[in-house]
Structure 1
Amino acid sequence: MNDRPDRISLATRIRNNFLTGLIICAPLAITIWLTWSFIHWADSWVKPYIPSRYNPESYLKFAIPGFGLLLALVAITLIGFLGKNLIGRSIVGYSESILNRMPLVRTVYKSTKQIFETVLKEQSSSFKRVGLIEFPHPGTWALVFVSTDARGEIAAKLSENGEEMVAVFLAPTPVPTAGFLMFVPRSKLRLLDMSPEEGIKLLISAGLVTPEYTAAATSDAANAVTPPAET
């Protein structure tokens, strides 16, 4: 009878040690696996286009992981450098004029280019803020990522009452690879102080990983939601 608590205590310690080791090893193993898989994926796309005489693996007896990825990064950087001068802009403009003559290709190219320009633009605020909206009904709040202000026809149709509309992305849990593009009034959007990275962690973990928050909340978020009245 006296040995039972000791056995339970020992089993509990073993379980706790196992869970602690799992918490340490699992993220590390997943990170290494994802990184290694990405490197091999990039190499599989780039290496077939490298001439044999310029590929060091043709002279060595072992593969060089990451060589294709490194070469792709150098090539993309070089193309970006050349695209800023007059000759490079002329070549890009001529190539775009050819693509614009292709009915299906021009639609895909223009849409893709617009997305990359919006996301990668240095001064863009796209997906740099996290907020809350009432969804799917009042009193229930959903986490969203702020995309940009509504523009064009959508802004004209939805802003008839004078209130600005904001485009937000509502991603599902736990895999935020798809979701809904929604346009909500700026006054209905509650901006949060957390970063997009913290918002993604909160979303993927289904609310289990909550970012730290201090009681001294900044007033910048409130000012961004409701602009001050003009005098």
Structure 2
Amino acid sequence: MSALRKWLLSGLLTLVPLVITLWVLDWVVSTLDQTLRILPEHWQPQQLFGVHVPGLGVLFALLIVLTIGALASNFIGNKLVNWWHALLHRIPVVRSIYSGVKQVSDTLFSEKGNAFRKALLVQWPREGMWTVAFLTGAPGGDVARHLNGQDYVSVFVPTAPNPTGGYFVMVHKRDCVELTMSVDEALTYVISMGVIVPGGPKSLQPADAPASQA
């Protein structure tokens, strides 16, 4: 019985990650294949090739994103994007949703942004208990004024094993430990619930501290 149990566990450990990975890839490909529906009917792959070709939607979606990015990068395209943003900001309800989503996406995907650029170790949910968090920036506006100008940082504390949910908290910089592991490694650490342990810690230095103090 012990041998059968060992073989069963070994089989599950081998197959479960593979099956989940294939399922996620199939979902992504199937979802992106829906973008082909915007093409005229006589341009549909089923009409051109006589069969459904999985994955063409991925290439088509990538082509759309690259084309929009190229157009938005030039002068005329940038003017059109600004006009589009201004139009959406005049529509009630849509304005609040769009502006919030755009601020988050600009923060996450901007090359100059600091969001999710560092993995931290913070005490959560109480002192003496530690968890992995991600640096998202620094408090500003009215929040910073209520913190009396103290050296706080904004962090996102993900839940495990699903890191898409979590908590946004502000903690004092001296109470954070910057991890040498990358954000990808930290996410793997969270998703694996501590089974996969990469990297090591180092002290988090204030932004204005000289490099020699690190």
Using the size of structure 2 for normalisation, the TM-score is 0.88
Shift of 1:64: 0.9
State the 1:212 CA deviation.
5.2
Distance 1:92 1:157 in 2: 36
Question: Hey, what's the Cα distance between the residues in 2 that align with 1:212 and 1:96?
Answer: 42
Unaligned runs of 5+ in 1: 1-10
Counterpart-to-counterpart distance in 2, 1:178 and 1:27: 21
Q: Do 1:163 and 1:186's aligned partners in 2 also have CA atoms closer than 8 Å?
A: no
In the alignment, the residues of structure 2 paired with residue 226 and residue 82 of structure 1 have an alpha-carbon distance, to the nearest angstrom, of 37
For the aligned residue pairs, the C-alpha RMSD in angstroms reads 2.1
Give the secondary structure class of the aligned counterpart of 2:134.
strand
The answer to whether residue 192 in structure 2 is matched with residue 205 in structure 1 is yes
- CA offsets 1:110-141 (integer angstroms, 9 cap, x no match): 11111111101113221121112222222122
8 A Cα contact 2:178 2:204, kept in partner: no
Question: What is the CA–CA distance in structure 1 between the aligned matches of 2:39 and 2:113, rounded to whole Å?
Answer: 36
Partner of 1:23: 13
Q: State the distance in 2 between where 1:228 and 1:144 align.
A: 22
- Which is higher, the Rg of structure 1 or of structure 2? 1
Structure 2 portions without partners, runs of 5+ = none
For 2:168 and 2:77, locate their aligned partners in 1 and report how far apart those are by CA, in whole Å.
36
Is contact 1:186–1:226 with CA below 8 Å preserved after alignment?
Answer: no
Aligned to 1:165: 152
1:14 Cα deviation (Å)? 4.3
Change (3 A) 1:223 1:141: closer
1:90 aligns with 79
Q: Distance in 1 between matches of 2:192 and 2:78?
A: 45
CA contact (8 A) 1:189 1:225 kept: no
Aligned to 1:187: 174
Q: How many aligned residue pairs are there? A: 210
Q: Which of 190, 205, 208 matches 1:224?
A: 205
Q: Distance in 1 between matches of 2:87 and 2:199?
A: 51
Match of 1:35 in 2: 25
Secondary structure, in 3 states, of the residue corresponding to 2:132?
strand
- In 2, the alpha carbon distance for the partners of 1:153 and 1:172 equals 28
Aligned to 2:37: 48
Deviates more, 1:148-157 or 1:29-38: 148-157
Query: What is the match of residue 3 of structure 1?
Result: none
Q: 3-state DSSP class of the match of 1:132?
A: strand
Residue 138 (str. 1) matches residue 127 (str. 2): yes
SS in structure 2 of the partner of residue 128 of structure 1: coil
1:94 offset after TM fit, Å? Answer: 1.7
Q: Secondary structure at the match of 1:92?
A: helix
CA shift, 1:54, in A, is 2.0
Q: 1:74 aligns with which of 63, 80, 84?
A: 63
Q: How much identity, in percent, do the aligned residues show?
A: 29
Change in Cα spacing, 1:103 to 1:222, as seen in structure 2 (3 Å) is same
Write out per-residue CA displacement over residues 42-92 of structure 1, whole angstroms, 9 at most, x where no aligned residue.
Answer: 112x12211122222213231011112211110111111011112111211
SS at match of 1:103: coil
| Alignment partners' CA distance in 1, 2:204 and 2:16 | 41
| Pairing partner for 2:145 from 140, 150, 156 | 156
Give per-residue Cα distances to partners, 1:146-198, cap 9 Å, x unaligned: 1112222222221x1x4321000112222222111101111111111122222
The question of whether the paired residues in 1 share the 8 Å contact of 2:36 and 2:60 is answered with no
For 2:176 and 2:207, the matched residues in 1 are separated by 9
Worse-matched range after superposition: 19-28 or 187-196: 19-28
